[in-house]
């Protein structure tokens, strides 16, 4: 636990220092520090903005249709029942009636895409005539959702593996750590693609699961090293001596006390996950069309590099800003949660 670490530099006036440390690791204190830390604050703004856009696009399609002009019926709602909303899916025909004429690729006149900058299509349209701005906005959902869910899967899996390995030690530890090392040795992107394609067939859910599994080793290692030090603490000894079951010791005492630094790491990991998923989608193994997804949009844009440069720019900027938000926030959180750092 963080308190244990901070006692290293207490020394003088032990009682008063302890109280202060107590105050310094509290939730309210953390929030106060985040508000004071410029990096964390900006990170929080960006993350909040990205989350807002994702939820906004998911929940309020009527409002967004008013705000952004037409919406196509290509919604994430079809994929994700939890985002389903009665007003989401337009009746047949309605979603497409505002769309500009569709040019099949072969008959396309040179540079058929509106340049953008108009009120109706601020960023122009994609090669199929769908509003690019809307698709970028919708793409936020996939990235944020996949980033958070697969990081959570990795975190949960890593916590179980790491806690069990660290707590039991010996052979269990050896066996689990060899497995972790092995999974860690295969480059994540490669592992995820092989998993997605051979186990599930290109499908966003298998991609999410694959990304989660690929990051189990990272979390397992951190949790394990935390558990190794906590295992020796007196209160664990006490719990064990009073006959608490192993499972309860791990879940109630070991895991909660090793969690804080991992949570910071998880925030940073969301950024890495979004980065990987963007690459996965770019190769065609992430979200499948027609679901709008930034990586997949960049893939389509690749064929229009000479005629429509901006198609390749916007989704990349969106990816960059989103990841940057999570990275800034994670960095700031790290400083804020570390009780050793003085103001």
Partner 1 sequence: MKLLKYALFRLLQAIPVLIGISIITFLLANLGPGDPVSLMLQGQEHDEELVRAIEQRYGLDKPLHERYVTYMAGLLQGDFGQSIYYQRPVSDLMMDRIGPTLLLVLSAYAFALVTAIPLGVVAANRRNEPTDHLSRIVALVGVSTPSFWIGIVLILIFAVKLGWLPSSGLVYPWRPPDAYRGIDGHLELFQQTIRHLLLPMIALGTLQMATIMRVERTQMIESLQGEYVKLARAYGVPERTILRKHAFQVAQLPIITIVGLNLSTALGGAVLTETVFNINGMGLLFVNAIQRNDYQLVMGVTIVLGTLFVIGVIITDISYAYVDPRVTYGESE
Task: State whether the Cα torsion 70-47-78-195 is positive or negative.
Answer: positive
* Contacts (CB under 8 A) with partner 1, residues 248-277: 271, 275-276
Site string for partner 1, 189-208 (x = CB under 8 A): xxx-xxx-xxxxx-------
Q: How far is the CB of 144 from partner 1 (least distance, A)?
A: 15
Q: Which is nearer to partner 1, 7 or 38 (CB)?
A: 38
Site string for partner 1, 223-242 (x = CB under 8 A): --------------------
Choose which of 66, 156, 172, 320 interacts with partner 1 (CB under 8 A): 320
Distance of alpha carbon 295 from alpha carbon 94, whole angstroms: 28
Site string for partner 1, 287-316 (x = CB under 8 A): --------x--x--xx--xx--x--xx--x
Q: Binding-site residue total for partner 1 (CB under 8 A)?
A: 45
Q: Report residue 87 as tokens.
A: 């007003």
Site string for partner 1, 126-165 (x = CB under 8 A): ----------------------------------------
Q: How far is the CB of 141 from partner 1 (least distance, A)?
A: 18
Q: Does 87 bind partner 1 (CB under 8 A)?
A: no
Distance of alpha carbon 135 from alpha carbon 284, whole angstroms: 17
DSSP-assigned letters across all residues of 172-229: HHHHHHHHHHHHHHS-HHHHHHHHIIIII-S-HHHHHHHHHHHTHHHHHHHHHHHHHH
Degrees to nearest 5, angle at CA 319 with 317 and 322: 105
Contacting range for partner 1; rule: CB under 8 A; set: 95-103, 110-118, 175-183, 227-235: 175-183
Q: Which is nearer to partner 1, 62 or 307 (CB)?
A: 307
Q: Report residue 228 as tokens.
A: 């190794």
Contacting range for partner 1; rule: CB under 8 A; set: 5-13, 47-55, 120-128, 180-188: 180-188
Q: Which is nearer to partner 1, 59 or 324 (CB)?
A: 324
Q: How far is the CB of 298 from partner 1 (least distance, A)?
A: 6
Choose which of 179, 228, 244, 251 interacts with partner 1 (CB under 8 A): 179
Q: Which is nearer to partner 1, 132 or 282 (CB)?
A: 282
Q: Alpha helices of the chain — where are they, by DSSP H?
A: 2-6, 14-25, 27-36, 38-59, 61-68, 94-97, 132-168, 170-185, 188-195, 204-214, 216-230, 234-241, 246-248, 255-257, 260-282, 294-302, 309-337
Q: Does 186 bind partner 1 (CB under 8 A)?
A: yes
Distances (CA, A) of 139 to 1, 142, 185: 38, 5, 31
Closest CA to 130 of 316, 279, 291: 291
- 8 Å CB contact between 48 and 326: no
Closest CA to 322 of 135, 64, 43: 43
Choose which of 15, 105, 119, 185 interacts with partner 1 (CB under 8 A): 185
Q: How far is the CB of 243 from partner 1 (least distance, A)?
A: 34
Distance of alpha carbon 33 from alpha carbon 124, whole angstroms: 42
- 8 Å CB contact between 318 and 135: no
Q: Which is nearer to partner 1, 249 or 298 (CB)?
A: 298
Residues of this chain that interact with partner 1 (CB under 8 A) are: 178-179, 181-191, 193-195, 197-201, 271, 275-276, 278-279, 282-283, 285, 295, 298, 301-302, 305-306, 309, 312-313, 316, 319-320, 323-324, 327-328
């Amino acid at each position: 636990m963080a308190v244990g670490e901070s006692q290293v530099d207490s020394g003088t006036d032990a009682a008063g220092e302890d109280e202060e440390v107590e105050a310094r690791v509290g939730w309210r204190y953390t929030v106060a520090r985040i508000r004071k830390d410029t990096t964390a604050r900006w990170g929080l703004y960006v993350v909040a903005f990205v989350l807002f856009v994702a939820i906004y696009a998911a929940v309020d399609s009527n409002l967004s249709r008013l705000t952004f002009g037409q919406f196509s019926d290509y919604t994430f709602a079809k994929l994700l029942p939890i985002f389903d909303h009665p007003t989401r899916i337009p009746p047949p025909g309605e979603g497409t009636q505002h769309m500009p004429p569709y040019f099949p690729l072969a008959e396309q006149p040179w540079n058929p895409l509106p340049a953008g900058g108009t009120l109706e299509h601020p960023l122009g349209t994609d090669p199929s005539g769908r509003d690019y701005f809307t698709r970028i906005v919708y793409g936020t959902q996939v990235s944020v959702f996949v980033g958070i869910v697969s990081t959570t899967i990795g975190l949960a899996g890593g916590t179980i593996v790491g806690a069990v390995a660290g707590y039991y030690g010996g052979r269990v530890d050896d066996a689990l750590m060899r497995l972790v090392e092995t999974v860690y040795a295969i480059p994540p992107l490669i592992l995820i693609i092989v998993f997605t394609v051979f186990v599930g067939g290109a499908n966003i859910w298998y991609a999410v699961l694959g990304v989660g599994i690929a990051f189990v080793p990272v979390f397992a290692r951190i949790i394990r090293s935390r558990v190794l030090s906590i295992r020796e603490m007196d209160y664990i000894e006490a719990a064990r001596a009073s006959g608490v079951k192993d499972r309860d010791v791990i879940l109630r005492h070991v895991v909660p006390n090793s969690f804080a630094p991992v949570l910071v790491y998880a925030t940073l990991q969301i950024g890495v996950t979004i980065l990987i998923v963007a690459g996965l989608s770019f190769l065609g193994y992430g979200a499948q069309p027609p679901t709008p997804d930034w990586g997949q949009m960049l893939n389509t844009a690749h064929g229009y590099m000479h005629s429509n440069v901006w198609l390749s720019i916007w989704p990349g900027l969106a990816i960059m800003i989103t990841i940057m938000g999570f990275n800034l926030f994670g960095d700031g959180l790290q400083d804020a949660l570390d009780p050793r750092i003085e103001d």
